[in-house]
Structure 1
Amino acid sequence: MMSLSLENISKSFKDDLVLDQVSLSVETGETLVLFGPSGAGKTVLLRLIAGVIEPDEGTIVLNDADMSGVEAEHRGIGMAFQNFALFPHMDAHANIASPLTARKQPKNTIDTNVQKLAKLLKIDHVLGHQPKELSNGQKQRTALARALAGEPAILLLDDPLRNVDAKLRFEMRLELPRLLKDQNATVIYVTQDYKEAMAFGDNIAVMSGHGIQQTGTPEEIYLKPGNIETARLFGDPVINLIDVQPMMSAGNIQVRISETPIPIDAGYSKAVNTDCILGVRPEALRFVEKGTPNAFPITVEAETPLNEKTVNLMRTVNGRELMLSRPAGSPGPIDKDAYIAVDTGDIMLFEKMSGNRIEPLDAASLSAGEPGEVA
């Protein structure tokens, strides 16, 4: 197994800056997910690590060895890219077996490993087919199986389930992480699907704007996003965002939502009298009776059942649109005029100007009188 570190990597194509001073480390045996919108530079970063292209600036280090000038075939890296790159003259079985054949492993061992991977990826019925006879989804899974068959120390996977149908994609979210753990490889996995990122990653690096916005565990990224952009990328429905200005009242910090004062964490003391954006996940909101603590009035505009959950579109008295998500079958509003509430601990605050999340002070810091911090 190998560890990997990138130090101040920059890459441009003519006048198009793709990556700007990107630094990143991946521990031995870790699965790191590169997540972000199309054009964020995820695939370019994979190709730089693989040695397919060279950085304009910066250093790539594998197990303390500088990879500058080291050809791709000498880096000991397995790859499965979006363009499949299958050998056109070989059938699917031979493509998957190619890294094992190159090592001159026994035929029985090769056949056993190929059949195991093909069965897992649901392509065992097309092992005798040429690449031109395979669908895009089958080609992608064949390329993935080939990368896995070689059991490389570092495995680079570029959105390997992108062309897979929804049912198989769901199954692979369960099975593939187990397989990767069994192989004990250091894995870098690219995806634009936040659910996939959270299912596969020990850690997630969120990419946007020529670099990495935030790195953390799936829980950290979801519950403590570094900024509004990251908060929006994770969650379906997306996070609710409301313009607020925290105020001090009777010794408590409050914000107004739907013309109702709502108390927030005392750790946000430095945000008082500043323009902020309040963030709350749709699943953190709940329908309540009038008079319930922290409840505020809304008007229900629509209700949409989505199998495991039901989503309500609502508006505050000022016309601000909100989304609420609740488990399917749970009680909903009786009529259009209703009340919802949120717990203090589920509220996030972001700086309005920068978009950065404000980290609330803990009780010890408040007692010591320390200033507020921005994440």
Structure 2
Amino acid sequence: MTTLQLQNIVKRFKSHTVLDDLSLEVASGETLVLFGPSGAGKSVLLRLVAGVIEPDKGNVLIDGEDMSDVEPEHRGIGMAFQNFALFPHMDAFQNIATPLEASRSSADKIKEGVARVAKLLRIDHVLTHRPKALSNGQKQRTALARALVGSPPLLLLDDPLRNVDAKLRFEMRLELPRLLAAQGATVVYVTQDYKEAMALGDRIAVMAAGRIRQVGTPEEIYDAPAFIEIARLFGDPTINLLDVAPTAAAGGVAVELSGVRIPLPGIPAAEAVGRDCLIGLRPESLAFVAAGTAGAIPVTIEAETPLNEKTVSLVLTTDGREVLVSRPAGTPAPASGPAHIAVDGTNALLFDKETGRRIARMGEDAGERGEAA
């Protein structure tokens, strides 16, 4: 079993700082997903761990050993690069087999190992093809198979499902966790797809501008994002963010939406009252209710869009603010005109508008909200 520690990593290219005093720990056998927008530094971080590039400052430790003087081939790492990095003169079988050949495995073990991962990744029918004859999806899976075939203790996967079709991507989200768990590897997995991050990660590290902004379980990141920018990255449709002015209330604070007072229990008044804030409402946490229901907010339905398993409604509050409401497909609700929605204040998020930081509820510890940078 293998652990990975990154200590105060700094990486610059000329005057541009790509990784800025970044620290991170990955536990033995854990799958940690690095998630963030393009340019956040995710791929650079993987190459640095692999030893392809060196940090300007900081240390990479694998099982507690500093890797500063250890060459890439001696770090015990398997890696699938975003740009495939396949040998053009070799067929798919030979590309996949390279880690086994480097470890001097027998011909039978090489054949067995390649056949196993190729079948899993559904490329066993193209093993005799060279990269130029493969589709981008087949190239991506060949690169992933090469990373997996030697059962390395540490796996670095750089967006390995980016170029596969939607059906296979969905299936691999189900298959990969089982495969990785069976191998017992410690995995760092890069993606820009929040659904993939939530499906594959034991924990997610959200990156932005070369820094880790928050680390937590998928549930912690989604339910308790540390910053507005993180809340926006997770969810489809995106979270509703509305300007509010919190006032003190019994057991917390309250805000007004369309003239209706909404209690937010557990939010400390000292942290929120007197500040410009944004309330964050996940579309699926809102519901259409009958007029006269306690706390019902009057709205006007402007549009309704069916999205397979759910239906999303765009509504306007009485003061003209747009709100998205999501419900399971087939759930009865008005399609247009006047309506009312209910807000569950216990699920609402409150952010300081100036800093973007979420205001935590009383009694909420770091484990519940994830580690915020």
TM-score range, shorter chain: over 0.9
CA contact (8 A) 2:35 2:191 kept: yes
TM-score, normalised to structure 2's length? 0.95
What is the identity, as a one-letter code, of the residue corresponding to 2:137? G
CA contact (8 A) 2:303 2:336 kept: no
Structure 1: tracts of 5 or more residues without a match: 364-373
Shift in Å at residue 334 of structure 1?
A: 5.4
Shift in Å at residue 249 of structure 1?
A: 5.5
Question: In 2, distance between residues paired with 1:252 and 1:184?
Answer: 45
Matching residue of 1:262:
262
What is the identity, as a one-letter code, of the residue corresponding to 1:317? T
Question: In 1, distance between residues paired with 2:358 and 2:249?
Answer: 23
Matching residue of 2:83:
83
Provide the identity percentage.
64
1:350 aligns with 2:351: yes
CA contact (8 A) 2:29 2:185 kept: yes
Question: In 2, distance between residues paired with 1:174 and 1:20?
Answer: 34
Indicate how the Cα distance of structure 1 residues 321 and 293 shifts in structure 2: closer, same or farther if over 3 A, else same: same
Shift in Å at residue 307 of structure 1?
A: 0.7
CA contact (8 A) 2:251 2:265 kept: no
1:336 aligns with 2:323: no
Matching residue of 2:205:
205
Greater alpha carbon shift after TM alignment, 101-110 vs 179-188: 101-110
Indicate how the Cα distance of structure 1 residues 135 and 251 shifts in structure 2: closer, same or farther if over 3 A, else same: closer
Question: In 1, distance between residues paired with 2:68 and 2:248?
Answer: 56
CA contact (8 A) 1:263 1:294 kept: no
Shift in Å at residue 251 of structure 1?
A: 7.9
Q: Residue deviations 1:298-331, cap 9 Å, x none?
A: 1111111111111111111111111111101011
Aligned pairs for 1:1-375 (under 5 A) are: 1-248=1-248, 253-270=253-270, 271-333=272-334, 335-362=336-363
Greater alpha carbon shift after TM alignment, 155-164 vs 338-347: 338-347
Shift in Å at residue 171 of structure 1?
A: 0.4
What is the identity, as a one-letter code, of the residue corresponding to 2:24? L
Greater alpha carbon shift after TM alignment, 343-352 vs 258-267: 258-267
CA contact (8 A) 2:39 2:209 kept: no
Indicate how the Cα distance of structure 1 residues 314 and 184 shifts in structure 2: closer, same or farther if over 3 A, else same: same
CA contact (8 A) 2:304 2:335 kept: no
Indicate how the Cα distance of structure 1 residues 7 and 266 shifts in structure 2: closer, same or farther if over 3 A, else same: closer
Equivalenced residues, count? 365
Q: Residue deviations 1:198-224, cap 9 Å, x none?
A: 011001000002200000000000001
What's the C-alpha RMSD, in Å, of the aligned pairs?
1.6
Question: In 2, distance between residues paired with 1:319 and 1:342?
Answer: 17
Shift in Å at residue 242 of structure 1?
A: 0.7
Shift in Å at residue 335 of structure 1?
A: 3.8
Indicate how the Cα distance of structure 1 residues 164 and 250 shifts in structure 2: closer, same or farther if over 3 A, else same: closer
TM-score, normalised to structure 1's length? 0.94
Greater alpha carbon shift after TM alignment, 207-216 vs 112-121: 112-121
What is the identity, as a one-letter code, of the residue corresponding to 1:132? K
